């Protein structure tokens, strides 16, 4: 934790009556004095001091002393509010009976439970429950895809209960529930989605991070030798999409070979369109390019279709509404927006196919970066949610019209 402290006079705990405080607090105060005097570089003493301080009664004279600028003050200090030992926050997942199986599979909560619930989070005093009976007594309610299900019964909601909008896919614009937003007016407090303007950003599709140790790039290390005998692959299971990606692929196939793998292709498929290591190993062995085409062109939406092939020696060709330059290094992918037509894209892929040196440059970024697999971070949003529960005063808010926030301007029609 980076801490910048400005100080004038350093008060002593001897300035106050020891009977006013418990022994643990006095010890924390002594440790804190040593910290600001430069005798200790342990940041834990700062959070320990803050924790002890917040246990004192509101309006206590030491609280006033802690904040008075004429004695000493802290500036630009980020303190994590450590949870009270006696407080436990219950977070319930609200899923209707009709969608229970689908949403539970999407949330992958079983994996979160297997990993010890919140035990791996910085804040561990939260409990996640996925039974409806616990909703009325919970401190927060996680609502997956509110546009597709009825809200929790509002007359049982306590005023301090937090409602959280959760969606890892783009808006569905449901025809049978077009007025879903009316049921959630002035009800949603926080949002968890892939969008960067969400309160908590869902990172479960993957992430790229800089390596702690750089690896020297060697052009001849790119695995091509004799194995990569095909040009472009596309794993797909949804054959008709809002992005009309299938139309773009049909036009692209007029100029280069594209192998379509999955139920949208009637020829024999050698690999099922699943995010599995075996499937992507097969992709890496045979193909130079992979079509990472999203089914919706939505702002900030970049799914596992991009991160999965990026972890291999395959160049993703992307089509979507996200800002790929904000999540991936330059020269790690090819964006269809950079080409006037599918023919221009096909011509460029053909050039790379014939020039090993140019093609291999698309993997130079791997000497500095690694791809973090989804399984390592897909539930990080729950850790962030628990942190917010411990700091509700800081994050308190409400969305007057969650449908307007979610649907208007969130997705666009195809541009070609």
| Rg from Cα positions in the chain | 26
- CB count within 10 Å of CB 251 equals 14
The one-character DSSP state at 192 is E
pLDDT value for 224: 53
pLDDT value for 183: 86
Q: Of residues 48 and 336, which shows the higher confidence score?
A: 336
CB neighbour list of residue 175: distance below 8 Å, 6 or more residues apart: none
- CB count within 10 Å of CB 167 equals 22
Out of 23-27, 188-192, 221-225, the most confident range is 188-192
- The pLDDT confidence band at residue 387, using thresholds 50, 70 and 90, is very high
Helix-strand-coil split of the chain, %, nearest 5: 35, 15, 50
Q: Are 252 and 231 in contact (CB under 8 A)?
A: no
CB neighbour list of residue 224: distance below 8 Å, 6 or more residues apart: 288, 356, 359, 360
Q: Of residues 263 and 253, which shows the higher confidence score?
A: 253
Percent above pLDDT 70 for the chain: 70
Q: Which of 195-199, 205-209, 252-256, 271-275 bottoms out in mean pLDDT, i.e. has the lowest?
A: 271-275
Q: Where are the domains of the chain?
A: 5-74, 89-204+382-412, 207-372
Q: What is the dihedral of CA 192, 195, 197, 203, to 10 degrees?
A: 60
pLDDT value for 145: 86
Output the average pLDDT for the chain. Answer: 78
User: What is the spatial distance between Cα 177 and Cα 91, in angstroms, rounded to a whole number?
Assistant: 26
- Average pLDDT score over residue span 380-403: 93
Q: What would the DSSP string read from start to end of 215-256? A: ----GGGSS-TTT--EEEEEE-S-SS-TT-HHHHHHHHTTTS
Rounded to the nearest 5 degrees, what angle is found at the Cα of 328, between the Cα atoms of 324 and 333? Answer: 75
Helix (H) or strand (E) holding 15: none
Q: Of residues 175 and 384, which shows the higher confidence score?
A: 384
- The pLDDT confidence band at residue 87, using thresholds 50, 70 and 90, is confident
E-state strands within 272-399: 287-293, 297-298, 315-319, 334-335, 369-372
* Same fold for the pair 89-204+382-412 and 207-372: yes
Q: Which of 16-30, 41-55, 104-118, 367-381 bottoms out in mean pLDDT, i.e. has the lowest?
A: 41-55
- Average pLDDT score over residue span 30-45: 50
Q: Are 123 and 83 in contact (CB under 8 A)?
A: yes
Q: How far is CA 96 from the centre of its chain?
A: 24
CATH 3.40.50 fits 89-204+382-412, yes or no: yes
Question: Quick check: helix, strand or coil at residue 207?
Answer: strand
Per-residue pLDDT tens digits for 105-116: 777 877 787 777
Q: Which CATH superfamily is domain 207-372 in?
A: Glycosyl transferase family 10, C-terminal domain (3.40.50.11660)
To the question of pTM greater than 0.85 for the whole model, the response is no
User: What is the spatial distance between Cα 163 and Cα 143, in angstroms, rounded to a whole number?
Assistant: 7
Q: Are 34 and 45 in contact (CB under 8 A)?
A: yes
- The pLDDT confidence band at residue 173, using thresholds 50, 70 and 90, is confident
């Amino acid at each position: 934790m980076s801490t910048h402290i400005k100080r004038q006079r350093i008060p002593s705990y001897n300035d106050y009556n020891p009977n006013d405080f418990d022994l643990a607090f006095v010890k924390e105060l002594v440790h804190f004095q040593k910290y600001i005097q430069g005798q200790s570089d342990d940041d834990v003493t700062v959070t320990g001091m803050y924790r002890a301080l917040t246990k004192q009664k509101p309006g206590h004279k030491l609280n006033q002393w802690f904040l008075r600028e004429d004695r000493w003050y802290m500036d630009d200090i980020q303190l994590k509010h450590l949870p009270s030992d006696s407080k436990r926050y219950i977070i319930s997942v609200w899923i209707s009976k009709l969608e229970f199986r689908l949403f539970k599979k999407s949330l992958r909560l079983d994996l979160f439970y297997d990993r010890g619930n919140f035990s791996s989070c910085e804040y561990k005093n939260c409990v996640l429950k996925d039974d409806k009976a616990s909703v009325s007594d919970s401190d927060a309610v996680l609502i997956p895809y509110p546009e597709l299900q009825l809200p929790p019964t509002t007359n049982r909601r306590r005023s301090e209960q937090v409602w959280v909008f959760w969606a890892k896919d783009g808006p569905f614009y449901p025809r049978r529930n077009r007025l879903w937003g009316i049921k959630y007016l002035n009800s949603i407090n926080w949002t968890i989605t892939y969008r960067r303007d969400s309160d908590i950003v869902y990172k479960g599709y993957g992430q790229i991070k800089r390596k702690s140790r750089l690896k020297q790039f060697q052009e001849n290390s790119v695995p091509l030798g004799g194995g990569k005998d095909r040009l472009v692959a596309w794993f797909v299971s949804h054959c008709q999409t809002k992005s009309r990606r299938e139309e773009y692929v049909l036009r692209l196939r007029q100029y280069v070979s594209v192998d379509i793998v999955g139920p949208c292709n009637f020829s024999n498929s050698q690999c099922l369109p699943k995010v599995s290591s075996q499937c992507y190993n097969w992709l890496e062995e045979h193909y130079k390019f992979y079509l990472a085409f999203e089914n919706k062109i939505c702002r900030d939406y970049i799914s596992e279709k991009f991160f999965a092939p990026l972890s291999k020696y395959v160049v993703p060709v992307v089509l979507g509404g996200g800002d790929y330059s904000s999540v991936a290094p330059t020269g790690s992918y090819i964006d269809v927006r950079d080409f006037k037509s599918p023919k221009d894209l096909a011509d460029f892929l053909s050039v790379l196919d014939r020039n090993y040196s140019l093609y291999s440059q698309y993997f130079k970024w791997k000497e500095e970066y690694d791809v973090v697999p989804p399984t390592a971070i897909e539930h990080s949003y729950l850790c962030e949610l628990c942190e917010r529960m411990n700091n509700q005063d800081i994050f308190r808010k409400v969305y007057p019209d969650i449908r307007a926030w979610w649907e208007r301007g969130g997705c666009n029609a195809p541009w070609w």
